[in-house]
Amino acid sequence: MSAWHHDVTLFGEPYPTRNPVPDHFRTGDVTADELMGLPREQRLAATAAHELGHALLWAAAGLRVGRVSIVDDDHRSGHAMALSTGVPDEARLLAVGTAGGERAEDRWLREAGLWTPDRAAVVELSAHGDRARLLDCTSPRPVFGTGGPDFAVLHDMADEALDRVWGRLMGALPVLVRRQALTGQQLASITGLPLPAPGPCRIYLDKPELSERAVL
């Protein structure tokens, strides 16, 4: 994959991407959903891959998944939530799972034969919330280029972790598309991954306010 592109602003802030964002999106001539250009079932499956990427990496790391869901709308909306269990190096495991959403969606597009540079750029743009949380809870703060640990390191760590759960993710994906929501217990039953008890301090890891920071 090419180096970071630095020609996009999102919500008033620079937003580097690894895939080039086409000019007609940057000028506002098309929306992200129009650029994605997927029919309903494929749109839901891509969203499910994203949310399951979060959930399964957290579950495989020993965190307790509370719920994973997708929304049948035109905006590829979804949500995954996990609880702290006090496992060692929890902040780093959280960070890898958070990066796993966009990486799982990108991988699903590739394996489905639907990947294009434009769609890959939309996947990155749609992960702005995940990336913002990662930048807030990772030390040293990742950079998009030179001057520190590259954000791509988190992508690489997520890709490696996804290799170990990909078969389970693909098994759970049609179930999530059909039901649109799964509890942690249901996901554990489908995937065979454990559902550990929550730790004494419950932290909702989809919006981390951690006392510790992930160390790359």
**Mean pLDDT across the stretch 144-162?**
93
Does residue 133 lie in a domain region? Answer: yes
- What percentage of the chain carries pLDDT values higher than 90? 67
Question: Does 94 score more than 80 pLDDT?
Answer: yes
Question: Does 113 score more than 90 pLDDT?
Answer: yes
* 3-class DSSP assignment, residue 140: coil
Angle, helices 117-126 vs 40-60, to 10°: value is 60
Predicted pLDDT at 73: 79
Does residue 1 lie in a domain region? Answer: no
For 79, the domain range is 38-215
Predicted pLDDT at 137: 81
Residue 25's pLDDT band (boundaries 50, 70, 90)?
A: confident
Does residue 46 lie in a domain region? Answer: yes
Does residue 148 lie in a domain region? Answer: yes
Helix (H) or strand (E) holding 71: none
Does residue 193 lie in a domain region? Answer: yes
CA dihedral 110, 114, 120, 126 (to 10 degrees): -110
CATH at residue 170: 1.20.58
Does residue 30 lie in a domain region? Answer: no
Rounded Cα distance between 81 and 205, Å, is 6
Structural domain total, the chain: 1
Does residue 29 lie in a domain region? Answer: no
Question: Does 90 score more than 90 pLDDT?
Answer: no
Residue 153's pLDDT band (boundaries 50, 70, 90)?
A: very high
Give tens-digit pLDDT for 1-24: 458 999 999 889 999 999 999 998
Does residue 163 lie in a domain region? Answer: yes
Give tens-digit pLDDT for 30-54: 888 889 999 999 999 999 999 999 9
